Structure 1
Amino acid sequence: MASIHNRIRTIIINGGLLLSFASGFAQEIQAVKEEATVKIDSLYREDQFFFSFTYNTLQNKPADFSQSKFATGFSAGFVRDMPIVKDRTVAIASGLGFTYNNYNQNLAITGTNELPVYNIVDTDTYSKSKFSQLFIDVPLEVRWRTSTYQSYKFWRIYGGVKLSYLLYNKSVFNGDSGNTTLTNNKDFNKLVYGLYLAVGNNSINVYTYYGLNPIFKNGTQVDGQNLSVQALNMGLIFYIL
């Protein structure tokens, strides 16, 4: 009889220990889950890769200056997101990127790299007249969005200033008077800057950039007029986490 009592006591003690261990283990799992939830929320950022396609136009054009054909641009880069409010719907961001722009127009750029010459010509006197530019960009933007760490589909309004340094430029003119290709024209501004705005939902957004300073340096003239054209680029921008 004593042996039976001892066995029952042993079973009860072992069962209690097992229940105590199971309870403690469940509490540890719950604590880990809560910690993970807090950790995910605390690290939530909209760090993103982006790329855009734009239609490029020029503003503040001199008399008789006109654009022809469809001029396009492309940009890509990465931005680091830094939330500034508790729910992370407002943030500032900065990063690094590259932009390649094309412009087609009736501005003939001839001469040499050291001494370029500018003329506005009739559209029926040439087959190609364009210049292209490659920039390295540093954007600085303010961000508003409706995102959470559980959802990547949200509305956004991102806007700011973009500083761009000219790495390379090329102009091509093929006309009745001959063909000319110039590279690294010294008359292009090395540093340009402008305002931009991106508005949309999820990955696809409408994008606009307006240059605040001219593409060409002060003093660059065509037919006695200052060549003070500024960029206006409109298109779509895509964000990828």
Structure 2
Amino acid sequence: MRCHLIFIILLFSGAFVSGQALVTNTEVDRKYLEDQFYFGLTYNFATNLPADVSQRNLSYGLQAGFIKDIPLSYQRNMGIAIGLGYGINSYYTNLLATQQGSDVVYSVLDSDADFKRNKIATHVLEVPFQFRWRNSTPEEYKFWRIYTGVKLGYVFDGRSKFVSSSEKIVFVNKDIRDFQYGLTLNVGYNTFNIHIYYALSSLFNDGVTGESGGLIEFKPLKVGLIFFIL
């Protein structure tokens, strides 16, 4: 009889523990965060170019970083985020930059000029700030998102590079603006999201002119894909 009683107690105890575990495992996590890491690939357009300057080859950009998600609503579908990232950008044009003493002189390459590459390359420390909306839930990992905001950038390395069959010119271009900023928009569903960045600042410092005396103040427009990871 005592053995039967012990068995019944153990059986009910096991059922109680299992029930508690089930409740714990199915408890909704109301403190979940979204999209903490990002990686993006863009095509870089050069807008506001002088009339005789055109874009050449495939101008591209790469970006990656960490961003802190800060929900503002109980449903956690609205929030803000601030992050830190690293970007690499290339802009291929027919605008040739050459050094003459301490100055940088700009000229336009002819359409029949023999050269392989002529570009500006930048390495940027980036600080994105976003306003976020999404229709995620604690149980749903596939959702729509709209993230808009601004991105600040510090160019810690900016170079002009020209390569032809006979020569190669590479130098640090001091005319490239150190601090840059622009508007961002990220829209998408689940893994694939469209990323747009429009610069509000020129790639070059104020007052930089070409050989004809006109200002060079083109602004990058980046369009591509961005991937967010928890």
- Fold agreement, TM-score > 0.5: yes
Q: Which residue of 1 aligns with 2:160?
A: 171
Counterparts of 1:176 and 1:221 in 2: how far apart (Å)? 28
How far apart are 1:177 and its partner, in Å?
9.4
Identity percentage over the alignment?
A: 38
Structure number with greater Rg is 1
Q: Which residue of 1 aligns with 2:89?
A: 101
Q: Which residue of 1 aligns with 2:75?
A: 87
Kept after mapping to 2: 8 A contact 1:113/1:182: no
Q: Which residue of 2 aligns with 1:216?
A: 204
How far apart are 1:180 and its partner, in Å?
2.1
* Equivalent in 102, 120, 140 of residue 129 of structure 2: 140
* Equivalent in 66, 71, 81 of residue 78 of structure 1: 66
Q: Which residue of 2 aligns with 1:188?
A: 176
Amino acid at match of 1:139: P
Between structures 1 and 2, the one with greater helix share: 1
Q: Which residue of 2 aligns with 1:234?
A: 223
Counterparts of 1:88 and 1:126 in 2: how far apart (Å)? 56
Counterparts of 1:123 and 1:140 in 2: how far apart (Å)? 41
Counterparts of 1:42 and 1:221 in 2: how far apart (Å)? 55
Greater mean alpha carbon deviation, residues 190-199 or residues 45-54: 45-54
How far apart are 1:158 and its partner, in Å?
1.1
How far apart are 1:231 and its partner, in Å?
0.7
How far apart are 1:123 and its partner, in Å?
2.6
* Equivalent in 46, 56, 66 of residue 68 of structure 1: 56
* Cα distance, 1:24–1:228 mapped onto 2, change above 3 Å: same
How far apart are 1:64 and its partner, in Å?
0.7
How far apart are 1:25 and its partner, in Å?
5.9
Counterparts of 2:26 and 2:132 in 1: how far apart (Å)? 24
Counterparts of 2:225 and 2:72 in 1: how far apart (Å)? 27
Counterparts of 1:80 and 1:178 in 2: how far apart (Å)? 46
How far apart are 1:132 and its partner, in Å?
0.6
How far apart are 1:29 and its partner, in Å?
4.9
Greater mean alpha carbon deviation, residues 97-106 or residues 116-125: 116-125
* Cα distance, 1:154–1:146 mapped onto 2, change above 3 Å: same
How far apart are 1:101 and its partner, in Å?
0.5
3-state SS, counterpart of residue 194 of structure 1: strand
Structure 1, unpaired ranges of 5+: 1-6
Counterparts of 1:116 and 1:141 in 2: how far apart (Å)? 36
Amino acid at match of 1:187: D
Kept after mapping to 2: 8 A contact 1:110/1:117: yes
For residues 150-208 of structure 1, give each alpha carbon's deviation from its aligned partner in whole angstroms, at most 9, with x where no partner exists.
1211111111110111011121123599542112x211111100111111111111111
How far apart are 1:121 and its partner, in Å?
2.3
Kept after mapping to 2: 8 A contact 1:81/1:93: yes
How far apart are 1:22 and its partner, in Å?
5.4
Amino acid at match of 1:162: K
Amino acid at match of 1:235: G
Matches within 5 A, 1:155-166: 155-166=144-155
Total equivalences in the alignment: 228
* Cα distance, 1:232–1:192 mapped onto 2, change above 3 Å: same
